[in-house]
Amino acid sequence: MKTILKTLVIFLFIGIPFSSCDDIESLADIDFNSQFSTDLDVVVPQAVSYKSTQTGGVSFSKEETIDPLTDSNIKKYLDKLKSFDVQEITGTVKRVSKPVTIETGTITISQGSQVASWSISNFNVVSGAKIILDSGEGQWAKVNQILKSKGKFTAKIMGTVDNYDVSFTINILIKVKVVANPL
């Protein structure tokens, strides 16, 4: 038993000096959840002024800027942020003025040349309806890269609908786990 204890103590004295600083520093890592969101208020004009596409749908487009620095923890640990890990991205219809369907469309989250994009088709726009924006084509990794820049970015929806003189609001919500190291 004494031999095992001596061996263990020797390994501890030998192992500690050879541990990397990164391993020791990572012990101080903290993680927290953050959410970034914006409302995309889409307005499709009346019939006399709308632009029809070749398929007969009515075109629309709306974008808004999201600033990650509005989150108090992001701001607090700005220079100490290590990673972002998207947990969920959704688009939820908050309101709609009358029945409408998005025939074809795209939701994007972008910053400069970094773009994460999702296609929408035949989506009935009704209050409470949710669009799950998954990572089937690696979109979340792109959003993680965008967030790692710590700068403002854009959420956008565009496409065609089957009706005119309609308005609706889609809330884009990004839930993310953030790792920072206050050291």
What's the chain's average pLDDT? 87
The reported pLDDT for the residue numbered 49 is 46
The reported pLDDT for the residue numbered 20 is 53
49-55: long-range pairs with CB below 8 Å, 24+: 50/164, 53/160, 55/103, 55/104, 55/160
**What domains lie within the chain, and their CATH numbers?**
28-180 (2.60.120)
pLDDT tens, 75-116? Answer: 999 999 999 999 999 999 999 999 999 999 999 999 999 999
The reported pLDDT for the residue numbered 12 is 47
pLDDT tens, 56-77? Answer: 689 999 999 999 999 999 999 9
Whether residue 126 has pLDDT greater than 90: yes
Lowest mean pLDDT of 20-24, 59-63, 78-82, 126-130, name the range.
Answer: 20-24
Whether residue 170 has pLDDT greater than 90: yes
The reported pLDDT for the residue numbered 171 is 98
Select from 148, 82, 154 the least CA-distant residue to 117.
Answer: 154
* C-alpha span between 32 and 74 (Å, rounded): 9
Whether residue 54 has pLDDT greater than 50: no
Whether residue 162 has pLDDT greater than 70: yes
Q: Does 144 or 54 have the greater pLDDT score? A: 144
Strands 166-180 and 81-96: antiparallel
Full-prediction pTM beyond 0.85?
Answer: no
> Phi/psi at 181 (nearest 5 deg)?
-130, 110
Contact present, 173 and 37 (Cβ < 8 Å):
yes
CB burial of 138-148 (b: ≥16 within 10 Å; e: otherwise) equals ebbebbbebbe
* C-alpha span between 27 and 25 (Å, rounded): 5
Q: pLDDT over 70 for what percent of the chain?
A: 80
